[in-house]
Amino acid sequence: MNRAEPRSLVATLVSQKDAACLDMATIARARACLPSAEVAVLAPNIAVDLFFQDTRDSAIPLAALRETLANLPVDCVIQPVAGRRKRLFLADMDSTMIGQECIDELADAAGLRAHVSAITERAMRGEIAFEPALRERVALLKGLPIGIVDEMIASRITLTPGGTELVRTMRANGAYTALVSGGFTVFTGPISQKIGFDMHRSNLLEVADGHFAGTVTEPILGKEAKLATLEELRARFNLPPQASMAVGDGANDLAMLGAAGLGVAFHAKPVVAEAAHARIDHGDLSALIYFQGYRDEDIVRA
């Protein structure tokens, strides 16, 4: 009977920064799950790589690591050593690259936040289809002045920590980066520029006399369009699937995450966290820098 050849794998552990709990004792506990693993510190007390050889499905040692570190705010991923530095990055915007859902913020200005937020939550959990849910929510925005967007970006929208460093570090190392959102170009345009993405793609809210018309240009950019963007960019740059990474939090990100070389669920809805290749439950977006093997001194600071 043929025996499987061991694969060169790396387990990356990333602590929530405020906790900084990856001291030598914790690393030793993790290393006990991976016999003969070689340790490389990426950021003291924050991020560490454990290099090892294994023939098993990587879900087995990953589950052991998560169980061992269950009482600590540490995110873990196991992946092949080869190809871990990605050359294409796609990111969702709302509740991923920013801390808000833009349509909920617009609804707040219309006095309809609770109603619209409930629809958003159901759509992101995959309980209702994204496209009709978006049309329903956009219709409720009819009559809002378009100028309110600039006010919201200035006063309400916050960038997720680590996101700007992630995009700029990847671009400095030759990667192409795209912000792909089921939200709206009035937000993705300025936000993508602020973070430093190469491109952005999202939905167009229709305007009449300086006010939102309550409609969105068809076809709506949703789950399939995000996947299509990933495939389009991969073909443009002639990249193999494993050279790409995607991150998101909602059900409309599932196809994109599944097709990426590394699909990461970021503080995601349960259906997304269960399906993604990797997940960030504790840390910020800088975890994706360390997942690729960059050291603290390699990071391009915002």
Query: What's the pTM?
Result: 0.95
The secondary structure element, H or E, covering residue 43 is strand 38-43
Query: What does the mean pLDDT of the chain come to?
Result: 95
pLDDT single digits (tens) 174-228:
999 999 999 999 999 999 999 999 999 999 999 999 999 999 999 999 999 999 9
Q: Is 94 a catalytic residue?
A: yes
User: Of 2, 11, 20, 7, whose CA–CA distance to 283 is shortest?
Assistant: 20
User: Considering 92, 249, 253, 284, which one is annotated as catalytic?
Assistant: 92
Q: Which pLDDT value is given to residue 278? A: 97
Q: Write the CB contacts of 193 (distance below 8 Å, at least 6 apart in sequence).
A: none
* pLDDT score at 274: 94
List the beta bridge partners of residue 41. 48
Yes or no: say if 69 and 13 are a contact pair by the CB < 8 Å rule. yes
Of the residues 49, 54, 94, 104, which is catalytic?
A: 94
| The residue to which tokens 């061992």 are assigned | 68
**Residue 163 in tokens:** 């996101």
Which tokens go with 124? 């992101």
What is the C-alpha separation between 93 and 224, in angstroms, rounded? Answer: 16
Q: What domains does the chain contain, in order, with CATH numbers?
A: 7-80 (3.30.70.260), 88-298 (3.40.50.1000)
Token couple for 16: 């929530």
* 92 labelled catalytic: yes
CA–CA dist 98, 107 (Å, integer) = 17
Arithmetic mean of pLDDT, 83-93: 98
